[in-house]
Amino acid sequence: MNILLFGILLFALAFFVHILIWKIHLPKKNHTCFLLNIFFGLFIIGIFILPAQRLSDYIQAFLLYLSLMLAYIISYSAIEVDSPSLIIVLNIAGTGCGLSREELNKQLTDDLLVLPRLKDLLNDKMVFMEENKYKLTKKGVFLVKIFIFFRKILNAGKGG
């Protein structure tokens, strides 16, 4: 039970530090990188204060902490970026009298749905521009290959 408490308390502490930092000074970009620094920082501190005697206790406590950390950081992107499905649902709910496809198409343009994500890719150095054409960097190729490989295993299409 100590392991469970330790893992959850350490995660709660890291989450509190994250909220505190965000309230004092919200990072302009690379939120994920900041989050990783905060959570790994607390992880290192945790190694020295964990009251465990067996190796398995250490592994279990930190596996719990790391899995909670990963789950939170993955979810954070939904907070950072507006999801099209959620915008659609909120817009439909906002009218009260229904919304047609034409109205949705007018509200949700490429400027809202596609171009900000292209800008993110440029900022994250996944994509670069050469002679007015966007091309993938090595980092971009590496990432997309992971997803292509997995989509092939699933025998699924391009997605999006």
Partner 1 sequence: MKEIIIASVPIIGLFVNALIQVLSFRFFRHLGLLKSIFLGVGAGFFVLVLLSLILSQQWIISIFVQGLTYIALSYCYFHFINLGQTARRIRILREFYDAPNGLSCEELLMFYNSKEIIERRIERLLAGKQIIIKNDKYYIGNSFMLLAARLLVVLKIVLLGKKSEFDKKT
Tell me which residues in 88-117 interact with partner 1 (CB under 8 A).
Answer: 88-90, 92-93, 97-101, 104-105, 108-110, 112-117
Number of residues that bind partner 1 (CB under 8 A): 78
Q: Under the criterion CB under 8 A, does residue 141 sit at the interface with partner 1?
A: yes
CA nearest to 72, candidates 50, 42, 28: 42
Among the residue ranges 36-44, 45-53, 86-94, the one whose residues contact partner 1 (CB under 8 A): 86-94
User: And the tokens for 25?
Assistant: 């000074």
Token pair in block for residue 124: 């994250």
**Residue 33 in the binding site for partner 1 (CB under 8 A):** no
Interface with partner 1 includes 20 (CB under 8 A)? no
Answer yes or no: are the C-beta atoms of 1 and 8 closer than 8 Å. no
Does 13 bind partner 1 (CB under 8 A)? Our answer is no
3-state SS class at 128: strand
The helix/strand/coil state of 156 is coil
Contact between 151 and partner 1 by CB under 8 A: the answer reads yes
